[in-house]
Structure 1
Amino acid sequence: MPLKRIVVMVSGGGSNMQAVMDGISAGEIPGQIVRVISSAAKAYALERARANGIEAIALPKRYFDSDAACDQARHRAIDEAKPDLILLAGYLGIVPRQTVEKYRGRIINIHPALIPSFCGKGMYGHHVHEAVLAYGAKVSGATVHFVEEGVDTGPIILQDTVPVLQGDDADALAARVLQVEHRIFPLAAKLFLEDKLRVQGRRVWIEE
């Protein structure tokens, strides 16, 4: 049986994508990354992909006359790869509505906080960790969820926590949360590709 096809969408360093690639190399994730699409031309994730023989393309907004044209190009790039699963690994763009509709239930995102806290528009990267610290939260973590039309609103697949330590700054907290991301993001991909996730309303059940 052919391996299931994965498209990864990125915007930055791609360490979460690397965690998935490592899981594939170790035989733990029954899939193959067939294309990487970046919203940034100089994202290091593109180099990671090409070093592993994976097709990698950059489609930043500045290449296009309008947001709509960019959305269409990214949608076509996904379609051409015929994915079974789309992973948003540090992807800072908004997935076009047409993409969400066509691939509903097959798009998974990682968010560096415990949804429904510290999420939504403008909550990405260090903005999230700065908000956690400013609020005085004692616990943070990461969330893997399915993607819907809303920002960070889809059903939650996995979450895990880290303590917010006295004296933390955004960098220290981000590093601790990233360790959790690297664990639960590949696990979510594995569970999906093994057909062990069942969505009922807002709840995601994991089958043994």
Structure 2
Amino acid sequence: MKKIIIFASGSGTNAENIIKYFQNKKNAVVTHVFSNKLGAKVLKRAHDLKVKALHFDRESFYDTNEVLHILKDANPDLIVLAGFLWIFPKKIIDAFPDKVINIHPALLPKYGGKGMYGSRVHEAIIQNGEKESGITIHYVNENYDEGAVIFQAKTEIKESFTPEDLAKAIHNLEYKHFPPVIEKVLGLESK
């Protein structure tokens, strides 16, 4: 059985969706959820779904290698960033080559990079009068949102759309596509 570890910084709706998806499968399981925010709802969601939920601070992530050691001990087949806002350390990426992926709420390379997350992305897209947006699932490298693209899905932006309307459309794409793409990256057949 393949092991997945999720990193998230916020409410964790994508993490919850992924956990539930794989609870109904026999080929992979989410073993841990890590968060850099002690009060993040994702930790409670993971706990409620009987998945180990761990909080870490900046020092244990970047300086002391504590998070890296926990990851090595857990030996995941894939590390999934689902709304995780810190840049991932090169030492973790190097320890897990081609095993760290992220989802971004826009069609990269547009609207990516430092500071482009959540509602900021949707507001910029609406403000610029874009006709479409979407999601990008990509490998993680040492730069924000610059790793090789694995998958993209698009949605039309109606003239009446507010950033909140776009956010809802993007969430629907994330919930629909992220778990099966994870399955494909793991080399598993979707059943």
Q: Quick check: 1:140 aligned with 2:133? A: yes
Find the aligned partners of 1:50 and 1:22 in 2 and give their Cα distance.
13
Give the match's secondary structure for 2:123.
Answer: helix
Counterpart position of 1:204: none
Q: What pairs up with 1:111-150 in 2 under 5 angstroms?
A: 111-150=104-143
Q: Secondary structure at the match of 2:7?
A: strand
1:195 CA displacement: 5.5
Cα RMSD, aligned residues only: 1.7
> Number of residues paired by the alignment?
189
SS in 2 for 1:68: helix
Give unpaired runs (5+ residues) of structure 1.
197-208
TM-score by length of 1: 0.85
Structure 2 unaligned regions, length at least 5: none
**In structure 2, distance between residues paired with 1:58 and 1:67:** 10
| 1:69 matched to 2:66 | no
C-alpha displacement at 1:108, in angstroms?
Answer: 0.9
* 4+ long deviations beyond 6 Å: none
Q: Does 1:194 align with 2:191?
A: no
TM-score (norm 2): 0.92
- Amino acid of the structure 1 residue aligned with 2:63: A
Shift of 1:77: 2.8
Cα separation, 2, equivalents of 1:68 and 1:177: 31
Query: Which of these residues, 36, 50, 60, is aligned with residue 57 of structure 2?
Result: 60
Q: SS state of the match for residue 158, structure 1?
A: strand
Correspondence for 1:84 = 77
* Distance change in 2, residues 1:50/1:128 (3 Å): same
**Aligned residue in 1 for 2:13:** 15
How far 1:79 moved relative to its partner? Answer: 2.0
Contact 1:100/1:147 (<8 A) preserved: yes
Indicate the percent of aligned positions where both proteins have the same amino acid.
Answer: 32
